[in-house]
Amino acid sequence: MPVLATRLRRALPRPTRRRLVAGAAVLVLVAALVGWAAWPERSAYTSSDLRITVLSGPSGTEPVDLDARFYLPADRSGRVPAVLLAHGFGGSKDSVRENAQELAGLGYAVLTWTARGFGRSGGQIHLDSPDYEVKDAARLLDWLAARPEVRTDAPGDPRVGVVGGSYGGALALLLAAADKRVDALVPLITWNDLGRAFLPQSADTSASGVFKKGWAGLFFGNGAAAGASALGAAASAAGTADSSADSAAPPPDGASTGGSSPRDGAAGAPGAAGSRGAVDPACGRFAPEVCAAYLRLASAGTPDAATLALLRRSSPGPVLDKITAPTLLIQGAVDTLFPLSEADANARGIAATGTPVRVAWFTGGHDGGDGPQSDSDRTRFLTAQWLDHYVRGAGAAPATSFTYSRVAGFSATDRGLVTNGYSTPAYPGLAGTGRTEVTLTGAAQRIANPPNGTPAAISSLPGTGGQLSSLLGGVAGDIPGQHARFESAPVPAAIDVVGAPTVRLRAASPTGEAVLFVKLYDVDPAGAATLSGGLVAPVRLTGLPTDIAAAKPVTVTLPGIVRRIDAGHAVRVVVATSDQAFLTPAQPTTYTVALDPALTLPTVTGTPIPNPDSIWWYVLAALAAAIALGAVVLLAVRRRRARRTHTPTIDEYADTPLVVRGLRKAYGDGFVAVERVDFTVERGQVVGLLGPNGAGKTTTLRVLMGLTLPTEGDALVFGHRLVPGAPILSRVGALVEGPGFLPHLSGYENLRAYWRATGRPEADAHFDEALEIAGLGDSVHRRTKTYSHGMRQRLAIAQAMLGLPELLVLDEPTDGLDPPQIAEMRRVLQRYATDGRAVLVSSHLLAEVEQTCTHAVVVNKGRIVASGPVSDIVGDSPSVLLEVSDVPAASRVLAELDVRSVTPDGDTGLIVDMNGTPRTEVVASLVRAGVGVDRVVPRRRLEDAFLALVGDNSRGSGDR
């Protein structure tokens, strides 16, 4: 806001500033009232910190003291449903504070606690053992049932949903299997089989899995750190009567809300509170059997029977058939700890008994956090919807459909990366609903296993998987000599991969065994390779021959992913011998590996879904709507007053749509956005304004639209100088800095409201033509808050064309449009420039500018480096596009000439690398052979010319 105010002071005359300040004060007040009405009050709940002692253990008589917090909705009538909210491994009740506050604001009583062995809770870590952590949670259900504020279904049976992520998610599943009082559960990013999670095996073989040492070490380290904290706390409390007393605890959250109750000594065995038990410095607060199992596994790399039994005991997989509570499974696609396959196994196991199950994949996980904001909003929405129906008893039953999402791009208005969401009526599993086969090429290759796994390839590190892969540039993490590559040709059409790809692998080893890591890369036309989420498929093979010719193929199932492989990209499969995240054989050796050519990519054709409306979205939308409405009103007042005076017409340019003369824009802090810009837009022209980020394009457009005043120079529209609110702006239509609409109105109502604000007759609007341009069909009558970005973009372009203005100024008009819509927009702009009108387009899509625009202006570092017809800027080319009457006949003729290559282009075109052969000779040869030549066009691309003009100066700091 201070930056915006400063710019307004610089850009506007003093009287206008006063009017805007007064208007802004009203808008801020309106926005504040809207925000107050829309956002759940931060005091909409009370909270109290508790010490709850429960009895658990194999006999159910061992006391443990749990550090807990209880949230209640402040505004409630009667008893309310409850949520038991569990945290992740190494966390505490504070880790889920914000989630608890949000659920309490939605009307639930929420109980959070720090699991045994962590923080201020007593006991040792047993890894979600049914005898310990699960019994602890069951006793917390008893505690909830005894609370007078909590709704019950029967005495001792609270109306309750269980929500938890990772460690807490597995606990939710195990608790629902053991205790039928759970009414619904939402496990997030959790496991099905803890043994498989830490010892994954991606091939159809009976060999044991490959030890995931990175994540296992981090798990164990968290428990050891908890032990160190406990030792430090005990040392600092030496000499006190009760070393485990909670005297060091912070004040209760409720102190700030004015509604919390005092600390509650909860039900439990007298004298049992607080004892954490002995802490082993080597094992932290892990139970001895858990510590011993980890040490055996980390040392040997393969599990013994006792370790497998312990991990299976802590796994929901064996007890899924006992779960009757409706389950929403949310799993992340950026997760090298618990990948999508773990949720898939949980979904199949629970649904097998007829229990309602819904599966949602999102673009976060242990390596990607909550994912982009739009995805975080979606998962919160699904969670609230699920609980509202199955716990609160409100609303229709949520569909047991499948939803998934993928990153779609970056948008500053959506706080970073944004995602597109999709749904299908039924969960398809990892195999998808369809499949696309891609052919790989590459002969059998020899690869070396390094001694002691050093150096090792780096595909991921715990908690950084997806980000690390992009930082390394994908393939940069593979070690030369230790991996084999198999690659496809560029795919002709985009492939939406949703699920787990499969490939057939053959291997030979002099030791009869091999540990391999199979990875799938997306390779763009420039050769940059991306490994989705840092995910790899570890494979342990036994009984291998020494000769690859005798090797039998095994099917390798790669990790499930959600990724669009764009047209023109290749697919690369890498087979490596080492990986930093896994334990590999210590002895050096050499393997021979080969892949069958067919790589199967699962696909799903989903229906696009809008991002769920997050509360913040409503606040921001309301604020934007208030500002937009105020701006329209202020602009209308400004225009009415401006009509009383007219800027003088410069007769020389009275018939020229746009003339920019000596334009310069500098700010008070010394930043020069535009150094000097001069260009002209004539009638009938479509002019492209091009330049790298920071070149000054947006600033130039803002000056052209009267949104800011230049430091020097001016812009003339039909001979009139442009100033804020100038009447001549009525002859200009514009889309600058993105679309903005009132979200509660339909697209059609937004167009009508905008036109009414101009004060011009409705007959002059040409609504029919504008709606045809928008191409929204019946959707134009839907509220714009339901629109996708592309739909809003099309509506904004139609708004700019209302009244068929003589000069149309568009900033990135194809942003958010799909290829057919981009092609249609190209035709619209070319048609629009007829009948004496003109178009100025700012775009970063150089190929579109080349096909759409008649002229181009290239700006770099605030100055024009080239301007004129696109054909002149592109210049001469060694290649030409020939449009001919008979493509096969023309190809035969060209094959006999001294040209380098001939490539078909559409139904009637051929791209020919002339290799120095004169164009006249080529055309003459074709005509003599009876082939008609309709057109000869140079094929040097505008992109080539653009890069030659701006060189290495294409890195800017953003337009200003």
Q: How many helices (H) and strands (E) does the chain have?
A: 23, 40
Residue 565: DSSP 8-state: E
For residue 273, being part of any structural domain is answered with: yes
Q: Identify the H or E element spanning 570.
A: strand 570-576
Q: Side chain identity at 576, as an amino acid letter?
A: A
Burial 456-476, CB ≥16 within 10 A → b, else e: bbbbbbbbebbbbbeebebbe
The residue-averaged pLDDT of 862-878 equals: 76
Does the pLDDT value for residue 949 go beyond 90? no
Helices (H), 106-132: none
What span, in angstroms and rounded, lies between the C-alpha atoms of 360 and 421?
Answer: 10
Give the model confidence (pLDDT) of 499-525 as tens digits.
999 999 999 999 999 999 999 999 999
Answer whether 675's CB lies under 8 Å from 863's CB. Answer: yes
The residue-averaged pLDDT of 805-817 equals: 84
What span, in angstroms and rounded, lies between the C-alpha atoms of 718 and 704?
Answer: 12
- The bridge status of strand 327-332 relative to strand 561-565 is unpaired
Phi, psi of 344 (to 5 degrees): -60, -45
- Which among 693, 469, 451, 489 has a CA at the least distance from the CA of 586? 451
Does the pLDDT value for residue 958 go beyond 80? no
Do 587 and 666 sit in the same domain of this protein?
no
DSSP per-residue letters across 343-376? HHHHHHHHHTTT--EEEEEES-BTTTBT-SHHHH
CATH of the domain at 204: 3.40.50
Query: Which phi-psi region, left, alpha or beta, contains residue 880 (left: φ > 0; alpha: ψ -120 to 50)?
Result: beta
Answer whether the bond into residue 455 is a cis peptide, omega within 30°. Answer: yes
pLDDT band of residue 759 (cuts 50, 70, 90) is confident
Q: Side chain identity at 443, as an amino acid letter?
A: A
- Which among 568, 573, 587, 420 has a CA at the least distance from the CA of 504? 573
For residue 392, being part of any structural domain is answered with: no
Q: 48: which 2 tokens?
A: 């109290």
Cα 785 to chain centroid distance, Å, stands at 20
Q: Exposure of 628 by Cβ count < 10 A (0-12 exposed, 13-18 middle, 19+ buried)?
A: middle
Pick the range with the lowest mean pLDDT from 45-59, 438-452, 883-897: 883-897
Pick the range with the lowest mean pLDDT from 284-298, 404-418, 544-558, 596-610: 404-418
Provide the residue range defining the domain that includes 905: 876-939
Do 910 and 882 sit in the same domain of this protein?
yes
The residue-averaged pLDDT of 326-348 equals: 95
CATH of the domain at 909: 3.30.70.1340
Q: Side chain identity at 258, as an amino acid letter?
A: G
For residue 402, being part of any structural domain is answered with: no
Domain termination site, one of 272, 303, 325: 325
- Give the per-residue pLDDT at 595: 97
- Give the per-residue pLDDT at 903: 82
Domain termination site, one of 588, 608, 628: 608
DSSP per-residue letters across 52-79? EEEEESTTS-EEEEEEEEEEEESS--S-
Q: What is the number of residues in the chain?
A: 960
Domain termination site, one of 873, 896, 912: 873
- Angle among Cα 290, 293, 298 to the nearest 5 degrees reads 125
Q: 371: which 2 tokens?
A: 């994912």
Answer whether 214's CB lies under 8 Å from 468's CB. Answer: no
Answer whether 482's CB lies under 8 Å from 578's CB. Answer: yes
Q: 87: which 2 tokens?
A: 């945290």
Do 34 and 51 sit in the same domain of this protein?
no
Do 655 and 630 sit in the same domain of this protein?
no
Q: 134: which 2 tokens?
A: 């699960």
- Give the per-residue pLDDT at 624: 52
Q: 291: which 2 tokens?
A: 């510590």
Q: Side chain identity at 123, as an amino acid letter?
A: G
For residue 30, being part of any structural domain is answered with: yes
Does the pLDDT value for residue 873 go beyond 90? no
What span, in angstroms and rounded, lies between the C-alpha atoms of 748 and 767?
Answer: 9
95 in helix, strand or coil? helix
What span, in angstroms and rounded, lies between the C-alpha atoms of 298 and 315?
Answer: 20
- The bridge status of strand 160-165 relative to strand 182-188 is parallel
For residue 267, being part of any structural domain is answered with: yes
795 in helix, strand or coil? helix
What span, in angstroms and rounded, lies between the C-alpha atoms of 9 and 709?
Answer: 11
252-259: long-range pairs with CB below 8 Å, 24+: 252/47, 252/48, 252/49, 252/69, 253/47, 253/48, 253/49, 253/69, 253/97, 254/46, 254/47, 254/48, 254/49, 257/43, 257/45, 257/46, 257/47, 257/74, 258/43, 259/43, 259/46, 259/74
Do 243 and 305 sit in the same domain of this protein?
yes
Q: Which of 461 and 311 is assigned the larger pLDDT?
A: 311
Do 662 and 763 sit in the same domain of this protein?
yes
Pick the range with the lowest mean pLDDT from 101-105, 550-554, 774-778: 774-778
For residue 834, being part of any structural domain is answered with: yes
Give Rg (Cα) of the chain.
33
Ranked by mean pLDDT, which of 219-228, 258-267, 341-350, 948-957 comes out on top?
341-350
Q: Exposure of 519 by Cβ count < 10 A (0-12 exposed, 13-18 middle, 19+ buried)?
A: buried
- Give the per-residue pLDDT at 280: 59
Q: What is the mean pLDDT of the chain?
A: 80
| pTM attached to this predicted model | 0.60
- Give the per-residue pLDDT at 390: 96
The 3-state secondary structure of 832-891, one letter per residue: HCCCCCEEEEECCCHHHHHHHCCEEEEEECCEEEEEEEHHHHHCCCCEEEEEECCHHHHH
What span, in angstroms and rounded, lies between the C-alpha atoms of 169 and 158?
Answer: 20
The residue-averaged pLDDT of 604-630 equals: 56
Pick the range with the lowest mean pLDDT from 18-22, 473-477, 839-843: 18-22
Do 575 and 624 sit in the same domain of this protein?
no
- Give the per-residue pLDDT at 10: 33
Q: Which of 112 and 15 is assigned the larger pLDDT?
A: 112
CA distances from 385 to 365, 371, 616 (A): 21, 20, 18
- Which among 75, 60, 219 has a CA at the least distance from the CA of 142? 60
Q: How many other C-beta atoms are found inside a 10 Å radius of the C-beta of residue 299?
A: 9
For residue 628, being part of any structural domain is answered with: yes
Q: Exposure of 854 by Cβ count < 10 A (0-12 exposed, 13-18 middle, 19+ buried)?
A: middle
- Which among 108, 85, 106 has a CA at the least distance from the CA of 97? 85
Q: 177: which 2 tokens?
A: 């299997």
Does the pLDDT value for residue 232 go beyond 60? no
Answer whether 939's CB lies under 8 Å from 900's CB. Answer: no
Does the pLDDT value for residue 325 go beyond 60? yes
- Which among 34, 35, 100, 104 has a CA at the least distance from the CA of 75? 104
Does the pLDDT value for residue 33 go beyond 70? no
Q: How many other C-beta atoms are found inside a 10 Å radius of the C-beta of residue 110?
A: 27
What span, in angstroms and rounded, lies between the C-alpha atoms of 282 and 277?
Answer: 15
- Give the per-residue pLDDT at 732: 87
Answer whether 491's CB lies under 8 Å from 567's CB. Answer: yes
For residue 903, being part of any structural domain is answered with: yes
Do 677 and 803 sit in the same domain of this protein?
yes
- Give the per-residue pLDDT at 204: 85
Q: Which of 869 and 640 is assigned the larger pLDDT?
A: 869
The residue-averaged pLDDT of 180-194 equals: 97
Do 83 and 230 sit in the same domain of this protein?
yes
What span, in angstroms and rounded, lies between the C-alpha atoms of 91 and 99?
Answer: 14
Do 778 and 880 sit in the same domain of this protein?
no
Q: 379: which 2 tokens?
A: 């998962």
The 3-state secondary structure of 438-461, one letter per residue: EECECCCEEEEECHHHCCCCCCCC
pLDDT band of residue 391 (cuts 50, 70, 90) is very high
- Give the per-residue pLDDT at 7: 32
470 in helix, strand or coil? helix
pLDDT band of residue 284 (cuts 50, 70, 90) is confident
What span, in angstroms and rounded, lies between the C-alpha atoms of 375 and 388?
Answer: 20
- Give the per-residue pLDDT at 224: 52
Q: Identify the H or E element spanning 403.
A: strand 402-411
Cα 722 to chain centroid distance, Å, stands at 41
Give the model confidence (pLDDT) of 785-804 as tens digits.
888 777 888 888 888 888 88
CATH of the domain at 803: 3.40.50.300
List all residues 6 or more positions away from 343 whose beta carbon is below 8 Å from its beta carbon: 190, 192, 329, 330, 331, 359, 361
The residue-averaged pLDDT of 98-120 equals: 94
- Give the per-residue pLDDT at 735: 82
Does the pLDDT value for residue 220 go beyond 80? no
**In the block, residue with structure tokens 């509660």:** 744
What span, in angstroms and rounded, lies between the C-alpha atoms of 560 and 344?
Answer: 10
Q: Side chain identity at 176, as an amino acid letter?
A: A
Beta bridge partners of 690: 858
Do 11 and 51 sit in the same domain of this protein?
no
**In the block, residue with structure tokens 């812009």:** 715
Q: Which of 458 and 823 is assigned the larger pLDDT?
A: 458
The residue-averaged pLDDT of 586-612 equals: 89
Do 663 and 729 sit in the same domain of this protein?
yes
Does the pLDDT value for residue 477 go beyond 50? yes
pLDDT band of residue 31 (cuts 50, 70, 90) is very low
- Give the per-residue pLDDT at 643: 47
pLDDT band of residue 436 (cuts 50, 70, 90) is very high
Please count the structural domains in the chain: 5
What span, in angstroms and rounded, lies between the C-alpha atoms of 433 and 557?
Answer: 16
